[in-house]
Amino acid sequence: MTIEQLKKIREEASQKMNMIGKGNAFRIVVGMATCGITAGAEPVYEALQKIVKDRSLENISVISVGCMGECALEPIVEVFDSKGFRTTYCKVKPMDAERIIDTHILNGLVVEDLLIAKYKKIGGYYGA
């Protein structure tokens, strides 16, 4: 590989990863390090993938990633949207996958009861 080829891979891949300004495209990531998998992230990931596949939602990519650092709140699912916002859902169960797709992706709403802000305390206050 040459440096030019490396640059080309970088451009293509960042184009693919970047959701900003892509209309109704979403990148959904599931934390799947040992911590996430132990907490049950695998069935969540599979459920999300199945919905996306079954409904042929081509603008949505479901990706497994490493540890986000919030061990107590796993399994964690994050949704990155075309406006550059990052929504973090925690303690997600496989049965929540449908709600995340329906509510968040298709209707543009958030799944309130899974928002990390409701669970994580920062400096004595719950976030958001």
Partner 1 sequence: MALRYQVVVCGGTHCSSSDSQAIYEEFQRQIVAFEIDENVSVFMSGCFGFCDKGPVVIVYPDSTLYTSVNVRDVAEICKDHLMNGSVVTRKAYTNITPEDEAKIQKFRETNLYAHQERIALRNCGIINPEDITEYIARDGYSALAKVLTEMTPEAVIEEVKKSKLRGRGGAGFPTGMKWGLAARNKGGQHYLICNADEGDPGAFMDRAVLEGDPFSVIEAMTIGGYAIAASQGYIYVRAEYPLAVERVNFAIKEAYKLGLLGNDILGSGFSFDLETRLGAGAFVCGEETALMASIEGERGIPRNKPPFPADAGLWKRPTIINNVETFANIPSIIIKGGEWFNHIGTEKSAGTKVFALGGKINNTGLLEIPMGTTLREVIYNIGGGIPNDKKFKAVQTGGPSGGCLTAKHLDCSIDYDTLVSLGSMMGSGGMIVMDETNCMVDVARFFLEFTVDESCGKCTPCREGTKRMLELLEKITRGEATLHDLVDLESLANSVKDSALCGLGQTAPNPVLSTLNHFRDEYLAHIVEKRCPAGVCKALIKYYITNDCIGCGKCKRNCPTHAISGDIKQRHTINPNICIKCGACKLACPVGAIVTA
Smallest distance, Å, CB 50 to partner 1?
A: 18
Give me the residues that bind partner 1 (CB under 8 A), please.
1-3, 6, 9-10, 12-14, 16-17, 29, 31, 33-35, 37, 63-73, 76, 78, 83, 85-88, 102-103, 107-110, 112, 115-117, 120-128
Cβ closer to partner 1: 39 or 47?
39
Give me the least distance between CB of 94 and partner 1, in Å please.
19
- Write the DSSP assignment of 4-58 as a string of letters: HHHHHHHHHHHHHH--TT-TT-EEEEEE-SHHHHHHTHHHHHHHHHHHHHHTT-T
- C-alpha neighbours within 13 Å on the C-beta side of residue 119: 17
Query: What residues pair up with 78 in beta bridges, in sequence order?
Result: 29, 88
Beta carbon nearer to partner 1, 12 or 95 = 12
- Cα–Cα distance, 10 to 56 (Å, whole number): 27
Question: CB of residue 92 vs partner 1: minimum separation in angstroms?
Answer: 14
Cβ 87 to partner 1, closest distance in Å? 4
Nearer to partner 1, 45 or 47 (CB): 45
**Tokens coding 97:** 């996958």
